[in-house]
């Protein structure tokens, strides 16, 4: 199968990987919209498992920040411990084992830290990066929004989890469409970005220019 055109940002299950970044217990009460973004990341994880998309999970300094929260549904995944503000160094060997991967779907926290640095490191490797904006957050709304804008400037594709899932499916005749459609019918929580898009500052919108 032909590779997806990088300029269009198309994603295919067979050439994608899902990265889940640092959704840990001690950050539960610090990060804005934590339950909501974890629920969206959990949705991405469910779909990745159905479509056999490889999933990589990290925990930042788990001795201090605790384990991954159970509601993510990541039981059975091996969490890679890290101190770097990027997922790429601890996952380097795993990435090297997946030469088919051309696109990374990225969820987690914090947007201005590990998400931003992971995205830039992946771009350096020549990979497409797709950030699920409804599955990422920070302790500060300003940091969250500026990090999303910064990633867009660098060539990261900003999407919602549902946009990414529907791109992966492509057709309602897909064998797993009904199973995944049930997931998409679950209520979508407010993750705090709608008011930003409705405001005067719309720098994250598709047709805006820096």
Q: Is 82 a catalytic residue?
A: yes
Q: Which residues contact 190 (CB under 8 A, 6 or more apart)?
A: 33, 36
Q: Which of 21, 82, 121, 134 is catalytic?
A: 82
Let me know: does 107 contact 72? Beta carbons within 8 Å.
no
Let me know: does 48 contact 84? Beta carbons within 8 Å.
no
Q: Which of 21, 22, 121, 134 is catalytic?
A: 22
SS (H, E, C) the chain: CCCCCCCCCCCCHHHEEEEEECCEHHHCCCCCCHHHHHHHHHHHHHHHHHCCCCEEEEEECHHHHCCECHHHCCCCCCEEEECCCCCHHHHHHHHHCCCCCCEEEEEEECHHHHHHHHHHHHHHCCCEEEEEEEEEECCCHHHHHHHHHHHHHHCCEEECHHHHHHHHHCCCCCCCHHHHHHHHCCCCCCCCCHHHHHCCCCCCCCCCCC
Q: Which of 21, 107, 114, 136 is catalytic?
A: 114
Q: Is 21 a catalytic residue?
A: no
Q: Is 22 a catalytic residue?
A: yes
Q: Active-site positions?
A: 22, 82, 114
């Amino acid at each position: 199968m032909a590779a997806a055109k990088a300029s269009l940002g198309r994603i295919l299950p067979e050439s994608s990987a899902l990265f889940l970044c640092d959704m840990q217990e001690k950050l539960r009460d610090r990060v804005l919209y934590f339950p909501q973004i974890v629920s969206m990341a959990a949705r991405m994880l469910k779909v990745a498992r159905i479509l056999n998309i490889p999933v990589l999970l990290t925990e930042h300094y788990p001795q201090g920040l605790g384990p991954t929260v159970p509601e993510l549904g990541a039981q059975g995944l091996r969490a890679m411990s890290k101190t770097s503000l990027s997922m790429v160094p601890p996952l380097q060997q795993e990435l090297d084992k997946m030469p088919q991967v051309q696109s990374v779907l990225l969820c987690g926290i914090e947007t201005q830290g590990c998400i931003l640095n992971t995205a830039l490191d992946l771009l350096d490797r020549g990979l497409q990066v797709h950030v699920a904006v409804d599955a990422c957050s920070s302790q500060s709304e300003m940091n969250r929004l500026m990090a999303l804008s910064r990633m867009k400037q660098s060539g990261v594709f900003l999407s919602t989890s549902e946009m990414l899932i529907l791109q992966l499916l492509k057709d309602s005749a897909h064998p797993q469409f009904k199973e995944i459609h049930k997931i998409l019918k679950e209520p979508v929580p407010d993750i705090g970005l709608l008011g930003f898009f409705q405001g005067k500052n719309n720098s994250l919108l598709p047709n805006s220019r820096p």
